[in-house]
Amino acid sequence: MEIMLGRSKAEINLITDALGEKSYRAAQIHKSLHAGLEFSEMTDLSKTLREKLAENYIAQPVKIIKTLKSADGTEKFLFLLGDGNVIEGVLMRYKYGNTLCVSTQVGCRMHCAFCASGIDGLIRNLEAGEILGEVVSVNRYLSGGVGDKRKVTNVVLMGSGEPLDNYDNTVKFIRLLSEEGGLNISARNVSLSTSGLVPAMYALGKENLPVTLTVSLHSPFDAERQKIMPVAKKYSIAEILAACSDYFAHTGRRYIFEYVLIRGENDTERHAAALVSLLKGRPCHVNLIRLNEVKENNLKSGTEKQAYAFSAFLEKGGISATVRRKMGEDIEGACGQLRRRFLEEGNNQGVKFERADI
Ligand code: SAH
């Protein structure tokens, strides 16, 4: 069955027209979908219409089937998709609002050495409505509504998958987030993280979407970066930096580099010094992330002290840098970990496509 969430009001209008309904019904349905309602809950529609819609369409393509809450308030979600695939997201609570980290693909084909998401490769892309479904379902879980009543205020595309490897759906999703009548989350409150797919970075700059571009750098040296991230064999650091400059020229927005600190691999003074020369004078910020160790590889995290020393070195060299606060460590916070555990334990057998009673 086809998914209804993610269709524009005009697209829904075509469906209601075909069913002989008045056009204001499309706006009602659109609003209810973005608020996370199933057709059966859309009580402002006639029962016949609700039933007709439910016969032909899936209203909500993403169901929350499990949540894990950390002592620090961070919450992990396991989402079930219509075809039985499982993805995950993370909610981080800050003073200024709630940020949801969403997945853009089931699995990932980037195979970064430290990451649990890509171990089994890419299974499939998510549709725009499915990525939106992650936000809509968590917003409802938090008792949020549409527009000013939303409880999810910021979105980061940093969950499983490579957003720019699923370009069209990702861009459509960002536009849906800010659609009138929907959650009304502006692209300014969206960060997109990429492993550095250069042609797509250029394309994104031309979309007229002021998202914060975040690039996973992880090394200032091409040869070493290639060992951490196979995709680095395709695009050099110089090409990535040129694409960042182009993004800045189009959007005027400072870009961010993510740098996962892996003990002994990319966290020495040699690396910090090279990063300073590489990034000096650029309108950028470096987000240092202490590795979340995953059992599938032998990479180790350094100490907190080492991370702060690395950060101080960058700052002294004139590069704006912060160490990302570790959140949700007690709940398998790293990308793809929760999903892997869930599948390994065989929990997906016989899971019904419906919202869990949570
Ligand atoms: N494919 C995109 C987005 C998903 S990964 C990208 O590469 O940017 C987003 C970020 O998750 C990566 O930059 C990395 O910083 C982080 N990440 C993944 N696995 C991690 C782990 N085991 N420990 C710490 N951070 C991790």
- Spatial CA neighbour of 260 closest among 197, 335, 331, 338: 335
Q: What are phi and psi of 107, to 5 degrees?
A: 75, -165
Instruction: Specify the amino acid at residue 237.
Output: I
pLDDT of residue 269: 97
* 88 part of the active site: yes
State the Cα–Cα distance between residues 148 and 155, nearest whole angstrom. 16
Instruction: Specify the amino acid at residue 130.
Output: E
pLDDT of residue 297: 87
| Domain regions of the chain by residue span | 2-57, 61-348
Q: Best of 117, 126, 197, 289 to mutate for ligand 1, by most ligand atoms within 8 A of CB?
A: 289
pLDDT of residue 356: 61
pLDDT of residue 355: 63
Q: Tokens in use for 217?
A: 């750098």
Radius of gyration, CA atoms only, the chain: 21
pLDDT of residue 1: 86
Residue 348 is classified by DSSP as: T
Helix (H, G, I), strand (E, B) or coil at 156: strand
CATH number of 2-57: 1.10.150.530
pLDDT of residue 336: 67
Q: Of the given ranges (16-20, 127-131, 350-354), which has the lowest mean pLDDT?
A: 350-354
Rounded (10°) angle between helices 24-34 and 9-18: 130
Q: How far, rounded to the nearest angstrom, does the alpha carbon of residue 55 sit from its chain's CA centroid? A: 31
Q: What is the residue with the minimal CA distance to atom 24 of ligand 1?
A: 291
Considering the chain, what is the average pLDDT of its residues?
A: 93
Expressed in angstroms and rounded, the spacing between residue 60 Cα and the centre of ligand 1 is: 27
Q: Best of 105, 218, 260 to mutate for ligand 1, by most ligand atoms within 8 A of CB?
A: 260
Q: Tokens in use for 230?
A: 């196979």
- Spatial CA neighbour of 263 closest among 221, 298, 222, 225: 298
Q: Tokens in use for 132?
A: 């939106």
Residue pLDDT, tens place only, 63-95? 999 999 988 889 999 999 999 999 999 999 988
Residue pLDDT, tens place only, 300-346? 999 999 999 999 999 999 999 999 887 766 666 555 666 777 677 76
Among the four given CATH numbers 3.30.43.10, 3.40.630.30, 3.20.20.70, 3.30.200.20, the one describing domain 61-348:
3.20.20.70
Residue 332 is classified by DSSP as: T
Q: State the catalytic residue, choosing from 21, 75, 88, 265.
A: 88
Q: Tokens in use for 137?
A: 């379902």
Q: What are phi and psi of 256, to 5 degrees?
A: -125, 140
Question: Please, which pLDDT band fits residue 200 given cuts at 50, 70 and 90?
Answer: very high
State the Cα–Cα distance between residues 248 and 211, nearest whole angstrom. 11
* 335 part of the active site: yes
Q: Of the given ranges (61-70, 155-164, 249-258, 288-297), which has the lowest mean pLDDT?
A: 288-297
Tell me the sheet residues that pair with 289.
260
Residue pLDDT, tens place only, 6-54? 998 899 999 999 999 999 999 999 999 999 999 999 999 999 999 999 9
Closest ligand 1 atom to residue 157 Cα is 3
Expressed in angstroms and rounded, the spacing between residue 158 Cα and the centre of ligand 1 is: 7
- Spatial CA neighbour of 169 closest among 129, 198, 215: 129
Q: What is the residue with the minimal CA distance to atom 13 of ligand 1?
A: 216
Closest ligand 1 atom to residue 165 Cα is 1
Contact (CB, 8 A) for 128 and 7: no
Q: Average pLDDT in the 183-202 region? A: 97
Contact (CB, 8 A) for 286 and 275: yes
Question: Please, which pLDDT band fits residue 295 given cuts at 50, 70 and 90?
Answer: confident
Q: Which residues line ligand 1 (CB under 6 A)?
A: 110, 114-115, 158, 162, 193-195, 216, 258, 260, 289, 291-292, 294, 334-335
Give the per-residue SS3 of 260-323.
EECCCCCCCHHHHHHHHHHHCCCCEEEEEEECCCCCCCCCCCCCHHHHHHHHHHHHHCCCCEEE
Helix (H, G, I), strand (E, B) or coil at 86: strand
